[in-house]
Amino acid sequence: MESQQERVLVYLRDLILKGEFVPGERLAEVALAERLSASRTPVRLALTTLEQEGLVEQSPGGGYVMRRITANEISDAIAVRGHLEGMAARLIAEHGVPRQLANALQECLRAGDRLFEKPALGIDDYAAYTDMNNRFHKLLVEGSGNAALIRAIEVNNRLPFAAASAMLPMQSALEEGRQWLFLAHQQHHSLVKAMLKGEGTRAQAIATEHVQIAQSNLTFALERPEVFRKLAPALHLVTEAVL
């Protein structure tokens, strides 16, 4: 039963983030159970978890509905990620970077550098950068060795567009996309250098500042939703409020 509960949760979250439901839409347990080839119990438990993650909300008439997420909520979650990753970077710098972690981070840097040797990036290059970026940020968080921090960032990242690579697919639609990624990757270099030198305060500041690119991407996407909806279907869940 445990594996089915996890499967239902993953699939249902994926459907939501792919834009399968509109804000205010009722999420009927029976219909979802049939769609996911599951019983109602794991569906009910999944909806409870998704409520805790901020993706759905209870309906006054009972059951759950899709909730509309405000731009400020996402902006706040991105800021929280910055502070958590900043804490992780400081802990790594202060405790010393183990050789295995240092090697893994350096390989991420080299992978990014190889991409930027090209004069232009294709869609496969953006996908490769996203994979590298996911590895880099996972190494950063897990390298902190702080279990509470790791749990906190996992929960925070479940809100649409809060995670480190959540905004990256949209970069391929921008003329400035390569420049923005290049700037982000230069920050990766600065961050690794600070951690290796044991500069905890500097590492924390760089990691915290790093999320400003994601904040700018979010603002840009909400100003031009017609350009980015196909690349990020979950945008329709977000109110186009000014940040």
Same domain, residue pair 42 and 100? no
Helices (H), the chain: 2-17, 29-35, 40-53, 71-95, 99-115, 123-143, 147-156, 177-196, 200-210, 212-223, 225-228
End position of a domain, from candidates 67, 84, 106? 67
**Per-residue pLDDT, 169:** 65
Same domain, residue pair 107 and 121? yes
pLDDT, mean over the chain: 88
CA distances to 113, 178, 187, 207, 226 from 182, in Å? 9, 6, 9, 16, 25
- The helix/strand/coil state of 228 is helix
pLDDT band with cut points at 50, 70 and 90 for residue 227 = low
pLDDT band with cut points at 50, 70 and 90 for residue 174 = low
User: What is the rounded CA–CA span in Å between residue 80 and residue 86?
Assistant: 10
**Per-residue pLDDT, 173:** 61
Same domain, residue pair 16 and 123? no
Same domain, residue pair 61 and 88? no
End position of a domain, from candidates 11, 33, 67? 67
* pLDDT surpassing 80 at residue 2: no
Predicted TM-score (pTM) of this structure: 0.81
Range of the domain at 111: 70-239
**Per-residue pLDDT, 153:** 95
End position of a domain, from candidates 67, 92, 108? 67
**Per-residue pLDDT, 1:** 43
**Per-residue pLDDT, 243:** 39
Same domain, residue pair 147 and 234? yes
The domain tally of the chain equals 2
Segment 4-20, tens digit of pLDDT: 778 898 889 888 877 88
Same domain, residue pair 114 and 233? yes
Tell me which of 9 and 167 has the higher pLDDT. Answer: 9
Query: DSSP readout, 158-171?
Result: TSTT-STTTTGGGG
Same domain, residue pair 39 and 81? no
Tell me which of 167 and 34 has the higher pLDDT. Answer: 34
Same domain, residue pair 24 and 80? no
Same domain, residue pair 32 and 100? no
Segment 40-82, tens digit of pLDDT: 999 999 999 888 888 899 988 889 999 888 889 999 999 999 9
Same domain, residue pair 103 and 138? yes
Q: Which of 192, 95, 73 is nearest to 135 (CA)?
A: 192
Tell me which of 114 and 229 has the higher pLDDT. Answer: 114
Same domain, residue pair 142 and 32? no
Average pLDDT of 173-193?
Answer: 88
Tell me which of 136 and 180 has the higher pLDDT. Answer: 136
Average pLDDT of 161-169?
Answer: 81
Strands 56-58 and 64-66: antiparallel
The residues that bridge with 238 in the sheet, in sequence order, are 69
Tell me which of 161 and 242 has the higher pLDDT. Answer: 161
